[in-house]
Amino acid sequence: MTAYVSAFDLFSIGVGPSSSHTVGPMRAALDFARRLRADPRLPEVARVSCVLYGSLGATGIGHGTPDAVVAGLRGREPETCEPAHVRAAWADFPEGAGLIIAGAHTVPFRKADIEFAPRTRLPGHPNAMTLRVHAADGEVLAEQTYYSIGGGFIRREGESARIAAGGFPLDYTDAASLLALCDERGITIADVARENEMALRSEEEVASGLDAIWDAMAGCVDAGLHADGVLPGILKVKRRAGAIREQLQAIEAEGAREIPGEWLGAFALAVNEENAAGGRVVTAPTNGAAGILPAVAMYWWRFLAGSGLGSGNAVTPYGELVGSALLGFHGDAASAEAHDPASEELVVEANRRRGIRRFLLTATALGSLFKANASISGAEGGCQAEVGSACAMAAGGLTAVMGGTNRQIENAAEIAMEHHLGLTCDPIGGLVQIPCIERNAIAASTAVTAARLALRGDGQHYVSLDAVVETMRQTGLDMSTKYKETSEGGLAVNVIEC
């Protein structure tokens, strides 16, 4: 079984504030509702209930988990629904009013129908939930336990994780076999991901799908940079990305040089503030770490893509600069010859798009290693599994578009992950705000540093990425439960919430 996970599973468009505590439970409730809709006993259902176990029970309210469950039962999909339809769906639900299950059957619903059991941990995963429907006499007509295993992925008890696995032509299980595969075929890490994606979709569909992911990421950055006010929840955290944007624009308007590093931090803050507000976010690979890859990619797009430092030309067959706006990965010589010089802006846009695709594909191939061989779930491995994985993916992606070799890419990912080992997940008040928002900005900076260090070397290094991934897995197993998204340790108990 290959480690590879499709980019369209790893980078899923959804809603904030958490992939494991919002998107996953929403998908679980939606799956349960759809199964009920096909059940002939649906007309007998008089009540629906849900128990949130472990981490879902401990930090569920702060993460909007019960709201997500209600939205999912109503038939909402995280990829397409309006974020406003999820926010406060449970918190503001009229007591005893009718809840329409998947648009097919109405039952009375009370907030107490969702129960929190933070002290009960099911063996399948720390993020567990059981949904039930009851007859009028209390008989349980149907029930199902789901595990939200990180990144928005879910697993029904008794089933394997819902990932588009199998059927990929280029198989690898770890970083060593990934590099060996690249050596054998004379291709890049991004090429491996691209060919695997094309086993499921056409080249044009892969390119347009990656563009849609980037457009959602860029839209999230822009939305966060132009928002203000206070984030929801008891902490009353003030949004800062918009004010920083205004300050940086004022500095630039005065003729001062651009400040790429400060913009990098602003991009990351913007995404995670949008996430904390329950906005439209792309898992990368989770919501809690959603700001790192978009920030680093936007940093490349804005400051490096046209500088000659990050065009990526002469790296892959798909990285050469061309004179036409492309839908796919390959250049068209005829189009290039017929190109009107007046459309230079379109050429720049096309090449940036191609670079972003390479960035995302490289990050996908690397992120798959963390998901397959360790974890991307904060409740399972601590924040090292979320922010650490995202930082490594971003570092590898940036190295790729900066012209790095496969071994420099692997080195960059290793550097980034190594310096997140042991990072705990201890959100204050169970909210994805402190320390999560600033942590994404710091990790974005670390990703850039890791890429630059790797690019200054020849790809040879003492500690392998595989060794770091295994160390992260072991560290997650050893880490106390109170430091794994339960808000029972660390900052969560040492900082007064209000």
DSSP string, 252-321: HHTTPPP-HHHHHHHHHHHHHHHHHTT-EEE-SS-STTTTHHHHHHHHIIIIITTTTSS--TTTSTT-S-
Query: What pLDDT does 339 receive?
Result: 54
The first and second tokens of residue 51, run together, are 């128990």
Rounded to two decimals, the pTM is: 0.88
Q: How many angstroms separate the CA atoms of 70 and 26, rounded?
A: 8
pLDDT band at 306 (very low <50, low <70, confident <90, very high): confident
Q: Are 475 and 326 in contact (CB under 8 A)?
A: no
Lowest pLDDT segment from 90-104, 149-163, 192-206: 149-163
Among residues 424, 409, 391, the alpha carbon closest in space to that of 286 is found at: 391
pLDDT band at 255 (very low <50, low <70, confident <90, very high): confident
Query: What pLDDT does 257 receive?
Result: 76
19-156: CATH superfamily: D-3-phosphoglycerate dehydrogenase; domain 3 (3.30.1330.90)
H helical segments located in 12-156: 24-37, 54-63, 65-73
* SS3 state at 326: coil
The values of phi and psi at residue 285, to 5°, are: -90, 0
Q: Environment class of residue 370 by beta-carbon count within 10 Å: exposed (0-12), middle (13-18) or buried (19+)?
A: buried
Tens-digit pLDDT profile for residues 134-188: 999 999 999 999 999 988 999 999 886 555 445 799 999 999 999 999 999 999 9
pLDDT band at 329 (very low <50, low <70, confident <90, very high): low
Q: Are 114 and 66 in contact (CB under 8 A)?
A: yes
Among residues 424, 417, 423, 420, the alpha carbon closest in space to that of 485 is found at: 424
Tell me the percentage of the chain whose pLDDT exceeds 70: 91
For residue 418, the tally of other CB atoms under 10 A from its CB is 18
Answer yes or no: is pLDDT of 332 > 50: no
pLDDT band at 498 (very low <50, low <70, confident <90, very high): low
The residue-averaged pLDDT of 333-347 equals: 59
Q: Are 208 and 403 in contact (CB under 8 A)?
A: no
The whole-chain average pLDDT of the chain stands at 91
Answer yes or no: is pLDDT of 340 > 70: no
Tens-digit pLDDT profile for residues 102-138: 889 999 999 999 999 999 999 999 999 999 999 999 9
Answer yes or no: is pLDDT of 323 > 50: no
Cβ-count burial 89-105 (b if 16+ within 10 Å, e if not): bbeebeeeeebebbeeb
pLDDT band at 342 (very low <50, low <70, confident <90, very high): low
Query: What pLDDT does 334 receive?
Result: 41
The first and second tokens of residue 235, run together, are 């902490």
In angstroms, the Cα distances linking 32 to 91, 145, 266, 277 are 21, 9, 39, 27
Q: Are 225 and 271 in contact (CB under 8 A)?
A: no
- 322 vs 97: which has the higher pLDDT: 97
Answer yes or no: is pLDDT of 10 > 80: yes
Tens-digit pLDDT profile for residues 457-483: 999 999 999 999 999 999 999 999 999
- With tokens 């040089």, the residue in question is 257
Q: How many angstroms separate the CA atoms of 63 and 429, rounded?
A: 10
pLDDT band at 32 (very low <50, low <70, confident <90, very high): very high
The values of phi and psi at residue 381, to 5°, are: -125, 5
Q: How many angstroms separate the CA atoms of 195 and 57, rounded?
A: 41
Instruction: Name 131's bridge partners.
Output: 50, 144
Tens-digit pLDDT profile for residues 40-63: 999 999 999 999 999 999 999 999
The first and second tokens of residue 413, run together, are 């990912």
Q: How many angstroms separate the CA atoms of 123 and 106, rounded?
A: 33
- 399 vs 339: which has the higher pLDDT: 399
- 344 vs 272: which has the higher pLDDT: 272
The first and second tokens of residue 12, run together, are 């899923």
The residues spanned by each domain of the chain are 19-156, 175-328+340-494
The values of phi and psi at residue 2, to 5°, are: -70, 155
The values of phi and psi at residue 371, to 5°, are: -70, -40
Which residues are within 8 A (CB) of 486 and not within 5 positions of it... i.e. 6 or more apart?
Answer: 54, 55, 58, 59, 118, 379, 492
Among residues 315, 316, 444, 289, the alpha carbon closest in space to that of 370 is found at: 289
Q: How many angstroms separate the CA atoms of 179 and 368, rounded?
A: 14
Lowest pLDDT segment from 175-184, 426-435, 439-448: 426-435
Query: What pLDDT does 1 receive?
Result: 72
Q: How many angstroms separate the CA atoms of 438 and 205, rounded?
A: 35
* SS3 state at 128: strand
